[in-house]
Copies of this chain bind each other. A is one copy, B any other.
């Protein structure tokens, strides 16, 4: 739900009832658990609605399964992104099998987080790619030297890829320490882009100790980087908002460590809400997540639902790009491009590496997508 003119945050929780349980009593218990966390009678009547979540709906949606809609006031959400997440899935996260399945956003949520600083259009301008899906890969594997990683970056860009991101396993290991790696890879991508006549984008992975993140971002900016990738489930969710608001870099988010929060049925937050609505609201320009044909048990329906949430109209919040990885290779790149449409980043990894010659493999991939795009436009 979106743009419904809500003045409160509407959150729908789905859960199974235990035998004989009264769903209304449970809804009321959850409303207190998520806000005042004291029993009935231990707060003044005027806290109802203003502080205690309001039970706006209780509906049976299947055999013994209930959806409860709680609404939260603007005042209880005070405290930024951390308190917003605490409201959505605070202590109720420890009730087995409670899942946030929908959120209705009020207009004022933009005060908490303002969405992507670049968005779909901004990333297209950064990369100079219009009218077709963007092609991306990950530079890897961990274990190679900075020289070898930079060489690979160059090959990918000369072959025609639009985006080269660090693999998320590249942190600050001795084989390729952070500062040296990002300097050399940024240089390689910029230089190769100049030679190839492209605006290819290097996306360094930002990780490391909490207190070092600000200077690492400064380092990226000083090097001329235009983007950054983080893993919010480890680094902290508000890091995404901070980067979007203050770094001037396009923000890519990676889903490592986050699986239990969205990939397990009946638990956590539905994938399209967490990876769609929430990461977009926080400011992720490009949300990396698994494609349905890859190694992870995500369904095509879920993949599409996330992409739809990233792109749909949302007053005041720019649309974001899904970056889909897994099962995308030369044979099937056209099929996936048709399926997901132009406002998509297709992440091709293993199938490029398996071909050995990275430049030639990238070039074939680029050609496949160009041919397909031209074919589609002229048909």
Q: Which residues of A contact B (CB under 8 A)?
A: 29, 33-39, 41-44, 47, 50-52, 75-76, 78-83, 85-86, 89-97, 138, 140-143, 167-169, 171-175, 178, 207-211, 214, 231, 234-239, 241-242, 246, 255-261, 263-264, 267-268, 290, 295-298, 349-350, 353-354
As for how many copies of this chain the complex holds, the number is 2
A15 vs chain B, min Cβ distance (A): 12
A238 vs chain B, min Cβ distance (A): 4
Is the CB–CB distance between B264 and A261 below 8 Å?
Answer: no
Q: Measured between alpha carbons, how far is A97 from B168 in the docked complex, in Å?
A: 22
Is the CB–CB distance between A169 and B90 below 8 Å?
Answer: yes
Residue from A75, A91, A211 whose CB has the most chain B CB atoms within 10 Å? A91
Is the CB–CB distance between A297 and B209 below 8 Å?
Answer: no
Is the CB–CB distance between B354 and A78 below 8 Å?
Answer: no
Is the CB–CB distance between A83 and B37 below 8 Å?
Answer: no
Q: Of the candidates B141, B174, B237, which one forms a contact with A234 in the assembled complex, judged by CB atoms under 8 Å apart?
A: B237
A219 vs chain B, min Cβ distance (A): 15
Chain B residues lying within 8 Å of A91, measured Cβ to Cβ, are 256, 296
Is the CB–CB distance between B171 and A82 below 8 Å?
Answer: yes
Q: Measured between alpha carbons, how far is A195 from B79 in the docked complex, in Å?
A: 33
Q: Measured between alpha carbons, how far is A234 from B209 in the docked complex, in Å?
A: 16
Chain B residues lying within 8 Å of A171, measured Cβ to Cβ, are 78-80, 82-83, 86
Q: Measured between alpha carbons, how far is A260 from B78 in the docked complex, in Å?
A: 24
Q: Measured between alpha carbons, how far is A241 from B208 in the docked complex, in Å?
A: 12
Q: Measured between alpha carbons, how far is A208 from B207 in the docked complex, in Å?
A: 20
Chain B residue with minimal CB distance to A176? B78
Known: A86-B234, A236-B236, A260-B93. A143 touches B78 (CB 8 A): no
Known: A90-B168, A257-B93. A211 touches B246 (CB 8 A): yes
Known: A78-B172, A86-B234. A42 touches B353 (CB 8 A): yes
Q: Of the candidates B42, B51, B268, which one forms a contact with A260 in the assembled complex, judged by CB atoms under 8 Å apart?
A: B268
Q: Measured between alpha carbons, how far is A301 from B83 in the docked complex, in Å?
A: 31
Known: A86-B171, A89-B257. A241 touches B209 (CB 8 A): yes
29 contacts between A and B (CB under 8 A): A35-B169, A36-B142, A37-B169, A38-B141, A39-B350, A41-B354, A42-B350, A47-B141, A47-B143, A51-B142, A75-B173, A76-B169, A79-B178, A79-B208, A82-B208, A82-B209, A85-B234, A89-B259, A90-B168, A93-B257, A96-B264, A97-B264, A209-B238, A210-B242, A211-B246, A234-B238, A236-B236, A260-B264, A267-B267
Chain B residues lying within 8 Å of A85, measured Cβ to Cβ, are 234, 257
Is the CB–CB distance between B37 and A349 below 8 Å?
Answer: yes
Is the CB–CB distance between A37 and B167 below 8 Å?
Answer: yes
Is the CB–CB distance between A259 and B354 below 8 Å?
Answer: no
Chain B residues lying within 8 Å of A295, measured Cβ to Cβ, are 29, 33, 95
Is the CB–CB distance between B257 and A172 below 8 Å?
Answer: no
